[in-house]
Amino acid sequence: MLYGAMKVAVGGPLKVAFRPWVEGLENVPAEGAAILASNHLSFSDSFFLPAVLDRKVTFIAKAEYFTTPGVKGRLTAAFFKGVGQLPVDRSGARGAGEAAIKSGIEVLERGELFGIYPEGTRSPDGRLYRGKPGGLARVALATGAPVIPVAMIDTEKIQPPGKVMPKLMRPGIRIGKPLDFSRYQGMEHDRFVLRAVTDEVMYEIMKLSGQEYVDMYATAMKRQLAEAAKAEKEAEKAAKAALARAEKEQAEKEQADQEKPER
């Protein structure tokens, strides 16, 4: 009931304001379990996709959204629960992965739609990154649920980093045909099978989105970018310090020259 109310309160205005276009809605079953595997460009992805679907979609969200104290924290928790987000504690990587898998299986066993971002985090530059095999593939093989590839289009342009007000523009959503991995049933602990399933899904997402594919994890790219930014900042700081030293030495030299007695 809360989900329906939030869908009207949030999804309705989103559709009116941004008018997202959609292709492939017929590929989402009217009933029964299915996994929606999407690229991840923006925080808003988890709102635009449910807004255009008639059925409830449950995503995984970090536990901090649900545990922040105070009035704002309680309102945030209520909002995320209302839009179909499940809390997962990410304090331990392995524990977080297992919790996400367990939550996904429970959602699918209820015959519902489970939404997941195989990249594991938002793309840092709009490109499509390598999918992590632990979550998507294990949930798919453990439940036998079909995997429906989804491509979010231009959602990262609505509110770029540093921008407070969103840009009113039409994002897009392409939904591909369901992928059946029943041939791998019972092999959810075979890492080669998990990799193959994940790569097949990512290939379909790439075809739908038209994104450039990068054969590395988005988390690794984010680390590289953070390290590069840190190195650039340190280099800039060092350059400023060197310039300050040079200016000081020049000033001292000029003062010394002025203080020399005339012959």
- Give the model's confidence band at 141: pLDDT under 50 very low, under 70 low, under 90 confident, else very high: very high
Domain ranges of the chain: 2-214, 217-263
Q: What is the mean pLDDT of residues 238-242?
A: 87
Q: What is the mean pLDDT of the chain?
A: 86
Q: What letter would DSSP give residue 37? A: E
Residue 201: predicted pLDDT: 98
Gap between the Cα atoms of 126 and 253, Å rounded: 52
Q: What is the mean pLDDT of residues 78-102?
A: 67
Question: Which residue type, as a one-letter code, is found at position 203?
Answer: Y
Taking every pair of Cα atoms in the chain, the longest distance, rounded to a whole number of angstroms, is 101
Q: Which helix (H) or strand (E) holds 244?
A: helix 218-259
Percent of the chain predicted with pLDDT > 70: 84
Gap between the Cα atoms of 52 and 135, Å rounded: 25
Lowest mean pLDDT among 55-64, 130-139, 152-161, 238-247: 55-64
Q: Any idea which residue has 């919790």 for tokens?
A: 99
Whether the pLDDT of residue 73 is over 80: the answer is no
Higher-confidence position of 52 and 7: 52
Residue 24: predicted pLDDT: 97
Output phi, psi for 214, to 5 deg: -120, 120
**CATH pick for 2-214 out of 3.50.50.60, 3.20.20.70, 3.40.1130.10, 3.30.300.90:** 3.40.1130.10
Q: Which helix (H) or strand (E) holds 174?
A: strand 172-175
- CA distance readout (Å), 161 to 48, 125, 157, 158, 214: 18, 11, 9, 10, 21
Q: Are 124 and 222 in contact (CB under 8 A)?
A: yes
Q: Any idea which residue has 């390290």 for tokens?
A: 227
Gap between the Cα atoms of 193 and 137, Å rounded: 8
Each residue of 27-53: pLDDT tens digit? Answer: 999 999 999 999 999 988 988 999 999
- For strands 57-62 and 128-129, give the pairing: unpaired
Residues 6+ apart with CB under 8 A from 197: 133, 136, 137, 140, 141, 147, 181, 184
Higher-confidence position of 126 and 14: 126
Residues 6+ apart with CB under 8 A from 142: 101, 105, 188
- CA distance readout (Å), 170 to 22, 26, 84, 157, 173: 10, 21, 23, 10, 10
- CB neighbour class for 101 (10 Å; exposed up to 12, middle 13-18, buried from 19): buried
Each residue of 114-126: pLDDT tens digit? Answer: 999 999 889 999 9
pTM for this predicted structure: 0.83
Q: What is the mean pLDDT of residues 126-142?
A: 93
